[in-house]
Amino acid sequence: MREFIESGLRSWGISVGDVTMLVVLIVLMLVVAWVVYLIARKWVARGVMKLTGKTATTWDDLMFDQHFFTRLGLLIAPFVVELFLFNLFDPEKWSYFIVLDKIIKIWITIAAILLVSAVLDGANRIYENYPLAKHRPLKVFIQIIKIVLYCAAGVIVISISIGKSPEALLVGMGAFAAVLMLVFKDTILGFVAGVQLMANNMIRIGDWIVMPSHGADGLVLEINLTTVKVQNWDKTISTVPTYKLVSESFTNWRGMWESGGRRIKRSVNIDIHSIHYLTDDEIEALKKSSLLGGYVKQKEAELAAYNANRPTLLDEKRMTNIGTFREYMMAWLNRNPDINLDLIHTVRQLQPGPTGVPLEIYCFSAQQSWVDYERVQSDIFDHVFAVLPLFGLRAYEYAGRPLE
């Protein structure tokens, strides 16, 4: 065991007698680094934060946070340690300085990557304050840059440790390409999917999407390299793999929000036995309506002209209560301020069935939020059910047979 340790130390250029001095210098190095780190993290951070707080712009507040200065302190510390140790001691005199030099270089590499990562996070925070960020989020691309930087840092750290150039190490890693592709499969698929989602403007932060296969029904909170986070209406969070939004179907309700209306498509079943021609008394009553008076008078004149030379009732045309009710509901919708009249709206009959004649109201509510939309829809059908008897109509109601 001893021979193994000695051979390992010799490979690093260290004799057994240098170990004690090496430990002392490492402890000294850590103490100096800790002092420098505290100075950069606390005092420098406080000074810069005060300066950014006094400026009129907000980008510097978003760029420089405590996380940034923590990593800045980690980067400054090894440079100070190197200056301190290599000026206090003669590196050519002590072979263990090779180890210290490798440790410091690895330290600088890792700290530099962490600082660049903090800068990228700050740039993303600045970008997210602009309206364009909802349409073109950059988080996917920033994560890709981070992965590349971390991989490069890993190669550099390994090359420093074994004393080989990064180029030679990369050539040797060619055999592991298939393994790396398998490990980073989701990352690669997520990157490609993220590019497609943003290039085709398929999804944005704040969009309402529905994806039943993954239990997602709510607003998009975040789009990153591997996942899309959706806050459902029950306040739970669904995490959907990014590539699934390209390979599988989902519904995006953004078009509804941008249209200025939300569709109402609901029908009420009319009892067929309540449909009949309007009597003279019913016509006279309907003429008094501000919504129907003009229509009834015009229709009455048209039918009188048509029926003038019709000898029998079979040849005549007459007003029906269901047809007049349809005209009434159209007029009522046209005067409803909660209906978007710029979009299609109609009242129509559907195919009759065992439950009567479906009378469908098809229109778009000007109120798009869920609570207001449901209120508008309920108000319409409250009125429908209440006004049906005034036209001599009945809603179909299934009367089940009692249990024997």
One domain, residues 264 and 386: yes
CA atoms within 13 A on the CB side of 88: 11
Task: Tell me the C-alpha to C-alpha distance, in Å, between residue 165 and each of 96, 155, 174.
Answer: 21, 9, 15
One domain, residues 245 and 272: no
- Quick check: is 216 in a domain? yes
One domain, residues 271 and 384: yes
Structure-token match 């507040």, residue found: 61
Cβ–Cβ < 8 Å for 320, 278: yes
- Give the whole-angstrom CA distance, residue 112 versus residue 159: 17
One domain, residues 90 and 169: no
CA dihedral 375, 379, 381, 384 (to 10 degrees): -170
- Give the whole-angstrom CA distance, residue 378 versus residue 376: 5
One domain, residues 263 and 386: yes
Q: Which residues pair with 230 in a beta bridge?
A: 220, 238
One domain, residues 264 and 384: yes
pLDDT of residue 178: 61
One domain, residues 251 and 273: no
- Give the whole-angstrom CA distance, residue 287 versus residue 310: 25
**pLDDT in single tens digits along all 404 residues of the chain:** 445 444 554 554 555 555 566 566 667 667 776 777 677 666 665 665 565 555 555 545 555 555 666 667 677 777 776 776 666 655 555 555 677 777 778 888 888 888 788 778 777 777 777 776 666 667 767 777 887 788 778 878 877 777 777 666 666 565 556 666 666 677 777 777 777 777 677 888 888 899 988 889 999 988 877 788 999 988 899 988 888 888 888 888 888 878 888 999 999 999 999 999 999 889 888 888 888 888 888 988 888 888 888 777 777 888 999 999 999 999 999 999 999 999 999 999 999 999 899 999 999 999 988 899 999 999 999 999 999 999 999 999 876 544 44
- Quick check: is 402 in a domain? no
Query: Which among 190, 117, 119 has a CA at the least distance from the CA of 148?
Result: 117
Domain tally for the chain?
3
What CATH number does the domain containing 201 carry?
A: 2.30.30.60
Q: Is the pTM of this model over 0.85?
A: no
- Quick check: is 309 in a domain? yes
- Dihedral angle sign, alpha carbons of residues 189, 190, 195, 200: positive
- Quick check: is 178 in a domain? yes
pLDDT of residue 333: 94
- Cα distance from N-terminal residue to C-terminal residue, the chain: 92
- Quick check: is 137 in a domain? no
- Quick check: is 148 in a domain? no
Among 227, 258, 289, where does a domain finish?
258
Please enumerate in sequence order all residues whose Cβ is within 8 A of that of 304, keeping only pairs 6 or more positions apart, or say none.
none
Parent domain of 369 = 259-391
